[in-house]
């Protein structure tokens, strides 16, 4: 069994561990915000955030779900674009809207996920790093300047200076959904699989 948290929902599934996380998200969980583009790890349409405990802290990074085997996310928190929704737009969504960073919208969930993941880093906010965080995302219609402007605006709006508790700060400022606060405790309750010994 593979156990993980998908957005705010605990998942326990007997799907094959080698099957793709992308297919699970879209066809088993019914979350269609994560798009299928190349299926080769090149376009970023299927980008999700993965949260895991490292050195006693919950840390997030992006991954392409098309190349991620389901078994690899056991004990992790997987966040799709739906998991970032609140009653109002998140800062990344707002920045993309304000700077005209979307047209057909196919790539937009991936960009929102990458920008949000970047805003969770503990490094000081920096426009160049925010733009670099989008390296894995391809857009076929809008062009990159508008998305770059959105990334710059987002970095400028973030509080400067290093942060050791960025996640709590974003939840407190209503820039991330509240359920993020409880994820670390919920992950701690998921057993790691027993390793077979020879």
Sign of CA dihedral 15, 41, 129, 110: negative
Minimum gap (Å) between residue 38 Cβ and ligand FES:
4
Q: Which string of DSSP letters, residue by residue, matches 13-75?
A: E-S-TTSBHHHIIIIIS--TTS--S-SSSSS-TTEEEEEEEETTEEEEEEEEGGG-BGGGGTT
Closer residue to ligand FES (CB): 46 or 115? 46
What six digits make up the tokens of 75? 């004990």
Q: Between 154 and 167, name the residue whose CB sits nearer to ligand FES.
A: 154
CB of 91 to ligand FES, least distance (A): 19
Q: How far apart, in whole angstroms, are the C-alpha atoms of residue 85 and residue 48?
A: 14
Nearer to ligand FES, 144 or 179 (CB): 144
Nearer to ligand FES, 38 or 132 (CB): 38
Q: Among candidates 44, 156, 48, which has minimal Cα distance to 94?
A: 156
> What residues make contact with ligand FES under the rule CB under 6 A?
36-39, 41-46, 64, 66, 102-107, 139-142
Q: How far is the CB of 153 from ligand FES (least distance, A)?
A: 18
If the CB atoms of residues 64 and 176 are measured against ligand FES, the closer one turns out to be: 64
Least distance to ligand FES, CB of residue 143, Å: 9
Total Cβ atoms within 10 A of residue 164: 9
Minimum Å distance from CB 128 to ligand FES? Answer: 22
């Amino acid at each position: 069994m593979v156990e993980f948290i998908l957005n705010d929902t605990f998942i326990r599934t007997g799907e094959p561990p080698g099957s793709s996380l992308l297919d699970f998200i879209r066809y088993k969980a019914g979350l269609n915000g994560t798009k299928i583009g190349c299926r080769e790890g090149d376009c970023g349409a299927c980008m999700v955030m993965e949260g895991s405990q490292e050195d006693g802290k919950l840390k997030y990074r992006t991954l392409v779900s098309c190349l991620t085997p389901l078994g690899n996310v056991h004990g992790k928190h997987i966040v799709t674009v739906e998991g970032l929704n609140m009653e109002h737009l998140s800062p990344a969504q707002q920045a993309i809207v304000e700077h005209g960073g979307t047209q057909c919208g196919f790539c937009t969930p991936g960009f929102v996920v990458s920008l949000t993941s970047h805003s969770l880093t503990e490094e000081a906010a920096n426009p160049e790093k925010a733009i670099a965080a989008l390296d894995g995302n391809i857009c076929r219609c809008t062009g990159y300047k508008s998305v770059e402007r959105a990334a710059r605006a987002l970095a400028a709006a973030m509080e400067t200076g290093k942060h050791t508790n960025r996640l709590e700060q974003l939840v407190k400022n209503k820039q991330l959904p509240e359920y993020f606060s409880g994820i670390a405790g919920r992950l701690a309750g998921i057993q790691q699989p027993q390793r077979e010994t020879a």
